[in-house]
Structure 1
Amino acid sequence: DLVLVEGFKHHQLPKIELHRPAMGRDRLHPGLPGIIALASDEPLSEKGDLPCLDLNQPEKITDFIISWMESD
């Protein structure tokens, strides 16, 4: 089963960080545990060790989630 929720960033759940650079906020990763991927509406200059997903391509985000669930 899969439940998508918003606003539980401090809970010990796997999460995809949504980052919009235009908002002017810092990224939560790597300081926040449980982040399995980054999704952004702009290319990220520092990708680090996580998969980076394009917010404008929801089908690719869906594919990532399905693949992640199947590997768990």
Structure 2
Amino acid sequence: MKVVAFAGYSGAGKTTLVEQLIPAFKALGLRVSVLKHAHHRFDVDHPGKDSWRHRQAGAFEVLVASDRRLALMREYEREHEPEVHHLLAELSPVVDWVLVEGFRHSDLPKVEVWRADTSHPVCYPDDPYVVAIATDDASRLPQPTGLALLDLNAPEAVRDWLLAQGSRFEYQSETYLG
């Protein structure tokens, strides 16, 4: 499986780009998973549903499965920042690509998503894991770079660049998990 992270500040367009890349990869017959970092408390369950009631009763994990989908919810006993490599280990190894949204400080190869009309700083000068920049206006980048520049508004071109560079995104979990 190949893994690439899309990193950048809120409002840069990470979610939109990932959302557009999924069908672009699927159009080529590739299977895609997404790993999303959530900064705030979130819930995928609803009060009153059986799985919500099981979690409220104190279950460490609740796995809900049907003939169409599976959802695993795990309650951490104390707050901690999830480690991206442990989360990747939870995903099915049969996927072709994992698109990771967020985890800006991880050691995964990253495409930085940056919009010219924001006041957010860029990460690429100080982050050796940034391999490309997806932007709406490369001429307005605050620092020159030799990194690949991708058009944020052309998801098929971003996909094609990722495919052409595929070997650099090959993920070996044993490298990270021992």
Calculate the TM-score normalised by the size of structure 2. Answer: 0.37
For structure 1, the residue ranges without an aligned partner over 5 or more in a row are none
Per-residue deviation at 1:26? 1.4
Q: Percent identity?
A: 37
Residue of structure 2 equivalent to 1:25: 120
Shift of 1:53: 0.4
After superposition, give the CA deviation of every residue in 1:9-63 in whole Å (9 maximum; x if it has no partner).
Answer: 1111000000001111111111112001001012334441101000111111001
Assess, with a 3 A threshold, how the Cα gap between structure 1 residues 58 and 47 changes in structure 2: closer, same or farther.
Answer: farther
Correspondent of 1:62 among 150, 159, 172 = 159
TM-score normalised by L of structure 1: 0.86
Given the alignment, which residue of 87, 107, 112 partners 1:12? 107
* Counterparts of 1:44 and 1:26, CA distance in 2: 15
2:136 is matched with which residue: 41, 45, 55? 41
Number of the residue aligned with 1:50: 147
Q: Which has the higher contact order (CA 8 A, sep 6+)?
A: 2
Structure 2 residue runs without a partner (length 5+)? 2-96, 169-178
| RMSD over aligned Cα atoms | 1.4
SS at the partner of 2:165? Answer: helix
Larger Rg: 2
Q: Cα 1:5–1:67, aligned 2, differ >3 Å: closer, same or farther?
A: same
**What is the Cα deviation at residue 5 of structure 1?**
1.3
